[in-house]
Amino acid sequence: MYIHNMTHPDWVLKFKKKGTLVMKRDDRYYLYRVSSKWNPEMKRAQMKTGEYLGRITPDGIIEPKTKRVMKRYEHISVKEYGSSFLLQHISGDLVASLKNHFPEWKEIFIFACMRLINVSPMKNVDFYYRTSFLSETVKDVHVSPDVLGDMLRNIGTDRKSVTDFMKSFMRDERYLAVDLTHVLSMSEGVISATLGHNSMEEYLPQVQLLFLFSLEHDAPVYFRILPGSINSVMSLKITMEETGSKNIVLVADTGFYSLKNVQALDAMKIFFIIPLRRNSRLIDYSMKGEKHFMFQDHPIFYSKYESNGRTLYTFRNDFLKAEEKDYLKRHSNSSGFIKINKRMGTISVMTNLKVSGEIVYDMLKSRVDIEQSYDTFKNTIHGDRTYMRDDYQMQGWTFVNFLSLIMHYRIYNLLRKHDLLKKYSPEDVIEHLQRVNMLKIGEEWKISEIPKKSGEIIKALEIPIMQNNGS
């Protein structure tokens, strides 16, 4: 226990100034700032212990670790600039909407940036922030682990602000709804996590994520966390109500089809595209009335037919068929090969959309992009292993990672716009831009020499980094 009502040695008392208090614990002495406040009920002033100033030793005061670290940060003369600049450059509208909906907008934005650039856990965010030039452009951000933990919980309790933020980017357009993955949670406090298998055949407590994906802007725009046991059909109606969007198309996974699911979707007036297993009896492989369109320089052949009032398409990609044939010839016996030959290179779907086969196929292939977004969420951002203490923190954690995912997609679309996706990935861009630093010379910040590869990317993507040389 602390003792402060006794006589202390002279080497301790010389540090006791007005407005401070010395406390002893065991054989150590600690200095605190104190103040007094009048208590009208007790009719006297009450002492209030404030900031911890450090431990007193015969050689002087040892300041708190946080103060010593902060002093070290003050002398940093080299800060990461390239990736930080890019994320700030592409996120003006995100920051503006965060300001409108969250008092902690600075902390949310910085956390999301550090998650994407450094895959940073909460305990390291403050370090990465201080060594990033974002600490010069977005000042006075409090991102210690305790502050971030409380912030995540506050976000999680305020679903309306999260929803309003997401809706601020939603327009009157068509969205694909996909739930592809499970976010594993090892925390006993997350009650929405229920035991279940995922695609990795892991039987662990998990929650499910439902994403809406904008076809027009090629980016995720909305998420909901669902208990691991909830079926996506049950959640889509609530999603439609929460977003106000009626133009949602569920692009399901193979194995989702059942008459019960289809009838439920029809009853809720939800559009769907549901892949069928290749051995489904609903599929007509005769390809009668076959037509075709071009997709990524390859012809896609398709046939259209009706079944129980719903439209079925069978698509055939001969480029994919050749690859499958080659594989099966090397791994299958001849009788099995002949039996499934007609199914090779095909994918069949059931839909209630009244659109062309080309549009259906394009939506189906867009699901691949969304799968990549989930892979990013799970692998690049490491968002699938979380030790959040409760459901609210889990919601906040997912929101921060969702923002990281949006920024990741903006870099992806920037690469696509400049026809560079075959050459670079968003991760490549971040890695190379991290090599561009700001140097503090005297009291002025100057951009460092730019490595050749980083310069090539900056030029190719038309990033105006040289126009912002210092602050």
Overall average pLDDT of the 89-100 stretch: 97
Classify strands 78-80 and 60-62 as parallel, antiparallel or unpaired. Answer: unpaired
Residue 163's pLDDT is what? 95
Q: What pLDDT was estimated at residue 327?
A: 52
Residue 458 has pLDDT above 90, yes or no: yes
Report pLDDT for 200. Answer: 47
pLDDT at 255 over 90: no
| Average of per-residue pLDDT across 400-410 | 93
Question: Does residue 197 register a pLDDT over 70?
Answer: no
pLDDT digit string (tens) for 121-158?
888 999 999 999 999 999 999 999 889 999 999 999 99
Categorize the per-residue pLDDT at 340 as very low, low, confident or very high, splitting at 50, 70 and 90.
low
Q: Quick check: 347 pLDDT over 90? A: no
Please say whether the beta carbons of 270 and 240 come within 8 A. Answer: yes
Instruction: Check pLDDT > 70 for residue 72.
Output: no
What local confidence, expressed as pLDDT, does residue 196 receive? 47
Of the candidates 210, 213, 215, 309, the one whose C-alpha atom is nearest the C-alpha of residue 262 is: 309
DSSP, residue by residue, 324-389: HHHHHHHHS-HHHHHHHGGGTTEEEEEE---S-HHHHHHHHHHHHHHHHHHHIIIIIS-TTEE--S
pLDDT at 47 over 70: yes
Share of the chain above pLDDT 90, in %: 35
Instruction: Identify which of 176, 81, 104 has the alpha carbon closest to the alpha carbon of residue 400.
Output: 104
pLDDT at 227: 67
- What is the pLDDT at residue 316? 86
The more confident residue out of 426 and 338 is 426
Question: What pLDDT does residue 417 have?
Answer: 94
Task: With a cut of 90, say whether residue 431 has pLDDT above it.
Answer: yes
How far is CA 414 from each of CA 16, 100, 212, 272, 461, rounded to the nearest angstrom?
59, 26, 21, 30, 7
pLDDT of residue 201: 46
Residue 189 and residue 260 in contact, taking contact as beta carbons nearer than 8 Å: no
- The pLDDT of 247-275, averaged and rounded, is 87
Q: To which H or E segment does residue 79 belong? A: strand 78-80
Mean pLDDT of 379-397: 72
User: What pLDDT does residue 471 have?
Assistant: 43
Domain 174-387 CATH class label: alpha beta
Beta partners for residue 301, in sequence order? 292, 316
Residue 116 confidence (pLDDT) above 70: yes
Inform me whether the pLDDT recorded for 8 exceeds 90: no
Residue 70's pLDDT band, with cuts at 50, 70 and 90, is: low
Q: What angle do CA 462, 465, 468 make, to 5 degrees?
A: 140
Reported confidence tier of residue 377, pLDDT bands at 50, 70, 90: low
Amino acid 332: pLDDT: 57
Q: How confident is the model at residue 44 (pLDDT cuts 50, 70, 90)?
A: confident
Q: Residue 183: what pLDDT?
A: 53
Residue 87 has pLDDT above 80, yes or no: yes
Alpha-helical runs (H) found in 210-316? 232-243, 259-267
- State yes or no: pLDDT of 71 exceeds 80: no
- Per-residue pLDDT band for 350 (boundaries 50, 70, 90) equals very high
Show me where the domains of the chain are located.
2-63, 72-157+421-468, 174-387
Reported as a pLDDT band with limits 50, 70 and 90, residue 69 is low
Who has greater pLDDT, 193 or 67? 67
Question: Residue 49 is encoded by which pair of tokens?
Answer: 């212990």
Task: Label residue 189 by pLDDT band (50, 70, 90).
Answer: low
* pLDDT of 330 higher than 60: no
For the segment 41-60, the average pLDDT, to the nearest whole number, is: 82
What is the average pLDDT value for the chain, to the nearest integer? 82
Least confident window among 97-106, 179-188, 277-286 = 179-188
Six-digit token string for 407:
């920024």
Helix axes of 105-118 and 145-157: crossing angle, nearest 10 degrees? 110
